Structure 1
Amino acid sequence: MGNNKDQNKLNVTDFAMVFEDLTRIIIRMPSIEKLSFTTLSVLHTLSRKSPMRLTELTANEQVTQSGITQLVTRLERDGLVERRPDPNDGRVVQVHITERGANVIDSRRSERIEQLSKFIEGLTPEDKLAIASAIPALRRLAELGNDS
């Protein structure tokens, strides 16, 4: 019986290492559009939280103010984002994702889903059920991480 108790404990080291491996696999998946990790991170952030101020993006993406300004300038030039004045404060600029930028994120997600579906075919029904059962807890973990 003592073994079952140990099986119910979460080994955070094992968890982190598995997620690092999965993250590496997902990031390296072939892609239609090859963009830098930081570019994709900014687009992904904006796809969920658009619009955002440059200062918010800087804090969220953990890059310098000048770095985020240069990146947003490139993304704007490429038609992936646009800057607009904040309706509540004309001195502040908000960054909005464009339809083209959202399409980049959507197409990459679709591609990932297709690739992951192939991997999942190799799992046992028990493995699939275990992953499905873990999704609500993983979603909550992501929310806690996003809140910090």
Structure 2
Amino acid sequence: MTERMVMAKQVPSVQLAGMLRDALTRLNRRVRQTRPVGDLTATQLSALLSLELAGAMAPRELADAERVRPPTMTKIVAKLEQRGLVQRTPHPTDGRQVILSATQAGREMLAQFERARDEWLARRIAELTIDEREALRRAAEILRRVAEA
């Protein structure tokens, strides 16, 4: 057994949880900062992604999902709508409401952001040794299991 393996077994779960949370937070922050040149803000991108992942929803639902106040979401949606990334359609049962959804241009914008992030991460991973890449592959499987629990 290597020294590193012995040390890993001795790290208490609480300490390992903190180390892992810190590493994931830093990686997530760095990945989020990687994006193609453009003026879409992180907040706008997040709202657009929520619409794409969760599907069409009312502005209030989107505000709740993004944890912002409805007036703030109104401004965010207006900017996205001006750029043709979000569309409004009448609510099927409540004439006072609208439903928001990502447009094709919005989905393409999200795909562009995803490609930029994947390319950045792939470049960083390519700099690692074969053993480190294998460790990341195993860690990815483990993290997926932890997230599903």
Instruction: Identify which of structures 1 and 2 has the higher relative contact order when contacts are C-alpha pairs closer than 8 Å and 6+ apart.
Output: 2
TM-score, normalising length from structure 1? Answer: 0.83
Contact 2:35 2:113 in 1 (8 A): no
Name stretches of at least 5 consecutive residues in structure 1 with no aligned partner: none
Contact 1:80 1:101 in 2 (8 A): yes
Contact 1:32 1:108 in 2 (8 A): no
CA RMSD of aligned residues (A): 2.4
Give the structure with the higher percent strand: 1
Tell me the residue number matched to 1:77: 82
Tell me the residue number matched to 1:58: 63
Residues 90 and 131 of structure 1: CA distance in aligned 2, closer, same or farther (over 3 Å): farther
1:8-36 Cα offsets, whole Å, 9 max, x none, are: 84612111211221122112225232311
Tell me the residue number matched to 1:104: 109
TM-score, normalising length from structure 2? Answer: 0.82
Residues 4 and 108 of structure 1: CA distance in aligned 2, closer, same or farther (over 3 Å): closer
When the two structures are aligned, how many residues end up with a matched partner? 144
Question: After the TM superposition, which segments of 4 or more aligned residues of structure 1 sit over 4 Å from their partners?
Answer: 1-4, 140-144
Larger radius of gyration: 2
1:109 offset after TM fit, Å? 0.6
